[in-house]
């Protein structure tokens, strides 16, 4: 009777799969190749220009049969990234690659790893004035809660997705869907999200959002008041009154400071809304998908009766326009002081077009945010807090897949990175569930040793090219098993 092939256990993440020969684990990132755990994707190398460069020896050097980069063709600034490097979770051993190099004559060390993040999320900036949902509303993917609407910023709606409570604090379905949605967003794929009490939004990094089936085209030039400030001088003499409709601050040129400075005559207009300062009105409408992010389909709904004692007169010319220039209407007052629609004069078409021209393309921005704490620091140094202090002080440069990161002040190593700055497919997952993101820590070699770095595990790029991703001898590993600080 033939015995079944022996499975071996993978310790690259907390799932610790038993993997049969020729098969991969639950994450599809590690496989059993003839009794050895190997990383199924090659390590990615980048040039200084962050162009995806060359791929080098697979993790554990499986099936490598040639030199991926002839020495004479290798750029001097080639760098190994964490993409495809694998992990050493739990990090009681050195990180997968600790690479020595020389930069401007200085001896440097770059510690390369793929980090497992249970504590992570994505921050999504959606360039639109459209109402997506009330602040704090639950955001869902496939019916599962994956985040919430957070505070809006100038011209953009903001979502906060993921986080440990959605990944591991809810049902299995919630964790699975949250992980899948974040992974897709981080790898540049489109994800459709439904906001409680709001819209259905398709989000993709670097692409226009699709709100309730409608692709957004433009991010607003500014609020209604700002638009008045920018273009009042160009309307002077062409029209008697301009109202820029906006969900946040609707502007009225004749009352606005810009209009007063330019000598604009009063028009007797009345706006239904909360007057802030002259020419600036809040809450002219509820938020929505209409003019300037309001519910308005007819802008005249925000106007009250015109006052002839304050300048209203038959024939007065009125332009109403949204903050993107996508909606506009032109009217004249009749004998009863009621606005009557008229074709937009050619003289005003250029000014409306200028608003549109000054609006930037509406895009989605996805920032991955993670806390690089816990045991991954032990893969860098035997005294983990020294790595935290070094990153916070700027002595150690943290990158993700070669991309610059923003490091949050305060405790720990909490960072954000724009996912469009990483090569495609840079993020992975493990079914705990958690996301896997590439990290690189770069610092002078003497500073690395001073923080308790794994000196015996440091290798040159040439050694890594020749030996692959495994530490080739027990002698090389022995020092880190016993040394300490």
348 plus 397 within the same structural domain: no
pLDDT of 34 reads 80
237 plus 114 within the same structural domain: no
Residues with Cβ within 8 Å of 464's Cβ and at least 6 positions away in sequence, in order, are 56, 57, 80, 97, 99
pLDDT of 468 reads 64
240 plus 322 within the same structural domain: yes
Q: Residue 327: inside a domain, yes or no?
A: yes
pLDDT of 470 reads 54
Q: Residue 168: inside a domain, yes or no?
A: no
Q: Residue 428: inside a domain, yes or no?
A: no
357, 377, 395: which is the final residue of a domain?
357
Number of domains the chain is built from:
3
232 plus 347 within the same structural domain: yes
374 plus 410 within the same structural domain: yes
243 plus 313 within the same structural domain: yes
Any bridge partners for residue 210, and if so which?
202, 215
259 plus 334 within the same structural domain: yes
Q: Domain residues for 51?
A: 41-118+369-418+434-482
311, 328, 357: which is the final residue of a domain?
357
Q: Give CA–CA dist 210/202, Å, rounded.
A: 5
Q: Residue 362: inside a domain, yes or no?
A: no
Q: Give CA–CA dist 442/333, Å, rounded.
A: 68
Q: Residue 408: inside a domain, yes or no?
A: yes
Q: Residue 165: inside a domain, yes or no?
A: no
357, 378, 399: which is the final residue of a domain?
357
107 plus 57 within the same structural domain: yes
pLDDT of 4 reads 56
Q: Is 412 left (phi over 0), alpha (psi -120 to 50) or beta?
A: left
349 plus 378 within the same structural domain: no
pLDDT of 465 reads 73
Q: Residue 103: inside a domain, yes or no?
A: yes
83 plus 17 within the same structural domain: no
pLDDT of 92 reads 77
pLDDT tens for the chain, residues 1 to 485? 455 568 888 877 777 889 998 888 887 778 888 888 777 777 777 765 444 444 443 333 334 344 444 344 444 567 788 888 888 777 778 998 899 987 777 889 999 999 999 999 999 999 998 889 999 999 999 999 999 999 999 889 999 999 999 999 999 999 999 999 999 999 999 999 999 999 999 999 999 999 999 999 889 888 999 999 999 999 999 999 999 999 889 999 999 999 999 999 999 999 999 999 999 999 999 988 889 889 999 999 999 999 999 999 999 999 999 999 989 999 999 999 999 999 999 999 999 999 989 999 999 999 999 999 888 899 999 999 999 999 999 999 999 999 999 999 999 999 999 999 998 889 999 888 999 999 999 999 999 999 999 999 998 887 877 766 654 433 344 443 434 34
296 plus 383 within the same structural domain: no
293 plus 374 within the same structural domain: no
Q: Residue 105: inside a domain, yes or no?
A: yes
């Amino acid at each position: 009777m033939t015995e079944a092939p022996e499975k071996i256990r993978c310790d690259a993440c907390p799932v610790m799969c038993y993997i049969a020969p020729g098969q991969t684990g639950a994450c599809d990132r590690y496989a059993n190749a003839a009794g050895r755990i190997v990383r199924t994707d090659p390590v990615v190398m980048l040039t200084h220009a962050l162009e995806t460069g060359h791929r080098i020896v697979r993790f554990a050097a499986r099936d490598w049969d040639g030199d991926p980069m002839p020495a004479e063709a290798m750029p001097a600034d080639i760098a190994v990234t964490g993409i495809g490097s694998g992990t050493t979770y739990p990090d009681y051993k050195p990180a997968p690659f600790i690479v020595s190099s020389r930069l401007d004559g200085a001896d440097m060390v770059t510690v390369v790893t793929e980090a497992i993040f249970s504590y992570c999320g994505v921050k999504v900036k959606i360039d639109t004035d459209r109402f997506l949902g009330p602040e704090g509303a639950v955001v869902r993917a496939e019916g599962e809660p994956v985040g919430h609407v957070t505070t809006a910023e100038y011209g953009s709606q903001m979502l906060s997705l993921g986080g440990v409570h959605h990944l591991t604090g809810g049902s299995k379905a919630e964790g699975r869907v949250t992980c899948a949605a974040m992974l897709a967003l981080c790898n540049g794929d489109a994800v459709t999200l439904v906001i409680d009490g709001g819209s259905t939004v398709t989000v993709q990094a670097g692409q226009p959002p699709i709100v309730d089936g409608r692709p957004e085209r433009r991010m607003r030039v500014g609020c209604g008041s700002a638009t008045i400030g920018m273009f009042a001088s160009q309307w002077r003499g062409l029209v008697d009154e301009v109202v820029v409709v906006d969900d946040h601050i609707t502007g009225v040129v004749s009352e606005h400071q810009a209009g007063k400075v330019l000598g604009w005559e009063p028009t007797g207009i009345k706006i239904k809304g909360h007057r802030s300062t002259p020419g600036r009105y809040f809450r002219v409408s509820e938020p929505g998908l209409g003019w300037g992010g309001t519910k308005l389909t007819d802008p005249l709904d925000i106007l009250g009766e015109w006052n002839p004692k304050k300048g209203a007169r038959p024939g007065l010319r009125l332009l109403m326009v949204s903050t993107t220039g996508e909606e506009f209407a032109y009217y004249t007052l009749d004998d009863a002081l009621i606005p009557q629609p008229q074709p937009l004069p050619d003289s005003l078409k250029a000014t409306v077009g200028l608003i549109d021209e000054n609006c930037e393309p509406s895009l989605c921005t996805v920032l991955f945010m993670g806390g690089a704490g816990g045991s991954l620091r032990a893969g860098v140094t035997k005294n983990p807090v020294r790595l935290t202090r070094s990153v916070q002080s700027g002595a150690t440069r943290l990158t993700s897949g070669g991309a610059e990161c923003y490091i949050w002040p305060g405790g720990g190593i909490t960072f954000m990175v724009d996912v469009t700055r990483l090569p495609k497919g840079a993020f992975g997952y493990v079914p705990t569930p958690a996301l896997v993101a590439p990290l690189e820590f770069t610092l002078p070699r003497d500073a690395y040793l001073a923080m308790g770095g794994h000196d015996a595990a440091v290798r040159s790029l040439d050694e890594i090219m020749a030996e692959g991703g495994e530490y080739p001898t027990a002698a090389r590993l022995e020092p880190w098993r016993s040394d300490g600080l």
